[in-house]
Amino acid sequence: MLLLLRKEDQVSSSGGKNIDYDKLITQFGCQTVDKSLLDRVQRLTGRPLPVFLRRGVFFAHRDFNKILDIYERGEKFFLYTGRGPSSESLHLGHLVPFMLTKYLQDAFDVPLVIQLSDDEKYLRDKNLSMEECERLGRENAKDIIACGFDGVSLTRTDPENKIRTLALCSAFYKNISRFSKRVTRNKADSIFGFTGEDNMRKQSYPAVQAVASFSNTFPRQFLGDDHLHCLIPCAIDQDPYFRMTRDVAPRIGYRKPALIESSFFPALQGEHRKMSASDPNSAIYFTDSAKVIKNKINQYAFSGGQESLQQHRKLGANLDVDIPVKYLNFFLEDDAELEHIKRNMARDIC
C-alpha cells in the first residue's frame, strides 16, 4: 500500500553494547552531517533548524548536499519515506523520521511519497494475515496523517478518505522487474541475510521498497517528471535497502536516491537497544494514554541514578545512560530548558 500526500550487514548492537553508529560512515560510505551542511540548510530554507538536526540525531547522509545543489538551482525533487505496519500504532521512534520529513516538506515545499509496506510485514511474520496487515496499515496511516503533512488534518477529515492508495500499477511492476533483474540471489542474501528457509516473495520485497524512490514508478502522480531526484529520511536500519538501490539505479539509467539518516530512538531499557514495535515493553506508542506512559517510564525506563541514595546525593545522575534525558534530547525543543534539567539532574536537585 502506498500513501501519497502532495506537496545487513546491519549496524547493530549485541551483548548489551551500544550501537556502533560510526560503522555507517567508516565502512558503508555514508557522509557525516556536519556544521557546514546544516548552516547551508538554514541559509537555503531561511528557517531555524529543527531539534533533530541541531542535536545531531540525523548524523549521516548520502548525497544530501546534492539535493541542496538541486534546490539551489531551482530544480525539483521529492521526498520518500515509509512504515512497515507491524503494530496497532506507531511508537515514538517512528516519529523521528516522520517529523524530519514534515520539516523538509514544509521547508522545501516538495511532494512526498509514503510507502506503507503491509506486504513486507505480511511476508516477514507468519502469524499475520494479509487482511490484518492491511488493517494495521490503515490504523498506522492515521498516526502518520496526524504528523500534519501538507495540511491534512485528522480532526477535519476522516483519514481514510484522505488516503490515496496505489495498487501495484504496471509502471511500478515494470520498475520492480528492471531492478530485480540486476540483483543476484547471492547479492540479496549477502545484504539482507536471507536463507533457504525464507519465502520467495520475502526475498523479492527489497525491490518494492527500492523502486518507490524512482518518480517514474508513479506516472500519474508525477506527470512526466520521470527522473525527479529523491531524498529519503529514515533511521539507519533502512540503509541496506538504499545502498542496494544506489548501486543498481545507474545501471538501469535511473538516479541514485539521496538519504538523510538518524540514530535510533532508544528502548525504555537503555541505549543499547532501539525502541521496537515488536517489543511492547520497549516502546511508547502514539495511542498510549498519559497514565500508561507514566507507568512505563516509572517501571521500565533505565535510570542514570546511582546505586545508593548516598552515592546519588554525592554524584548526581549519570546522564550518559539516563533514558528520560535521552528522550528529552530528541523532543524538547527548548535548548535552555534541556540544559537546565540536565544540570539539575547532574547535581541531584530535581
DSSP one-letter code for 17: P
Q: Give the residue with the Cβ less far from ligand TYM, 164 or 313.
A: 164
DSSP one-letter code for 11: -
CA distances from 304 to 185, 275, 297, 320, 346 (A): 46, 18, 13, 7, 9
DSSP one-letter code for 285: B
Among residues 53, 68, 79, 96, which is the contact residue for ligand TYM, using CB under 6 A? 96
Given a contact cutoff of 8 angstroms between Cβ atoms, the answer to whether 149 and 46 are in contact is: no
CB of 78 to ligand TYM, least distance (A): 12
- For 212, the grid coordinates are 518507490
Does residue 209 touch ligand TYM according to CB under 6 A? yes
Build a one-symbol-per-residue string for 251-290: x at contacts with ligand TYM by CB under 6 A, - elsewhere: -----------x-xx--------xx---------------
Single out the segment in contact with ligand TYM by CB under 6 A; choices: 63-71, 113-121, 293-301, 332-340: 113-121
Does residue 103 touch ligand TYM according to CB under 6 A? no
Per CB under 6 A, contacts with ligand TYM among 53-82 are 80-82
Number of DSSP helices (H) and strands (E) in the chain, helices first: 17, 9
CA distances from 74 to 65, 67, 77, 132, 254 (A): 14, 11, 10, 43, 20
CB of 288 to ligand TYM, least distance (A): 15
Among residues 112, 188, 228, 235, which is the contact residue for ligand TYM, using CB under 6 A? 235
Q: Give the residue with the Cβ less far from ligand TYM, 122 or 265.
A: 265
- For 350, the grid coordinates are 530535581
Binders of ligand TYM: how many residues, by CB under 6 A? 23
> Three-state SS for 274?
strand
Only one residue has cell 537555503, namely 44
Among residues 50, 67, 108, 117, which is the contact residue for ligand TYM, using CB under 6 A? 117
Per CB under 6 A, contacts with ligand TYM among 16-55 are none
CB of 141 to ligand TYM, least distance (A): 12
Neighbours of 221 (CB within 10 A): 16
Q: Cα(66)–Cα(70) distance, rounded to whole angstroms?
A: 6
Among residues 105, 217, 238, 245, which is the contact residue for ligand TYM, using CB under 6 A? 238
Positions touching ligand TYM (CB under 6 A) are 80-84, 93-94, 96-97, 115, 117, 120, 209, 232, 234-235, 237-238, 262, 264-265, 274-275
